[in-house]
Amino acid sequence: MYPQQIHDYLHQFFKENNCPILSRHDHFICVQLTIEMDKRIMNRPFYWKYQESTNEEPRPAQLTLITDKNKLVEDIKGEVVHFGSPRLNQLFQVTKEKGSFVQMYEVDPLDSKAMLAPWLGVNYKVSYSSNQMTEKLYSLGIHLMTGKVIDGFHESIQDIDLSATMQENTFYPPPIIQPIRALDRLDMVIENIIEQDDHTWMEEAKLRRKKERQILEYFYEGMEDRPECYEIEKEAIDQQYETKIKIEVLSGGIFYLKSSR
């Protein structure tokens, strides 16, 4: 997951959770947390317990997150966020806990009689793990009328004005492709992306596992009755270099967008 993808994800996350964006630049973002979000992610239970007992005016925290420290020119103090960092994993978990499915409509005050077309958008996280872990984020969208699939769906709707309620005089046709079938298609697309990816890391992990097993065998060579620790060490090596590919759906939804898109 690239810094720009993380940056866009953070912007969308806080926007959808009603946290005002105080400052947004290419490599960092500063947000004002809501009371709910402060309680969820800032780990300040004693502050909130004290505030509630004294009825003082609540002061949820402001949070500055740096998404690409190497390219940061400004003298900004904040928390560095990258794929696999505790903060980003925490936000992924919040998304799951709050419900990751949304239904949104494009709104345009200048076009009150728009025809909207339904899209299914899904954000996937793919994890490649052995003794090391690599994670990638994919955002796929499928047009529920035509079956057209695009990568980078999240980025494509980043600047569109969306609302949970549809504006008056706006209408849309019923989808030809049902969402459950569309999701099956996107799952096939993400599986095909994984198949086409570089899997040399798997072979490298197998070679490292073989080398570690050879070293282990060398230390216990000639022993007829090997101690219990031998089996424990062998199992540990197998687990350390076991290769896994995990696909997770982080979030998704039905998005009704102008049919011209």
Give the model confidence (pLDDT) of 149-195 as tens digits: 999 998 888 888 888 888 887 888 888 999 889 999 999 999 999 99
Confidence of residue 254 (pLDDT cuts 50, 70, 90): very high
CB 42 within 8 A of CB 61: yes
pLDDT at 99: 59
Confidence of residue 53 (pLDDT cuts 50, 70, 90): confident
What lies within 8 Å, CB to CB, of 171 at 6+ separation is 115, 116
What type of residue is 139? S
Give the model confidence (pLDDT) of 110-123 as tens digits: 766 778 899 999 99
Confidence (pTM): 0.64
Residue 228, CB-side half-sphere exposure with 13 Å CA sphere: 0
Mean pLDDT score, 116-139: 88
Give the model confidence (pLDDT) of 55-73 as tens digits: 888 899 999 999 888 887 7
Report domain extents, the chain.
1-99, 106-261
Confidence of residue 1 (pLDDT cuts 50, 70, 90): low
Residue-averaged pLDDT of the chain = 86
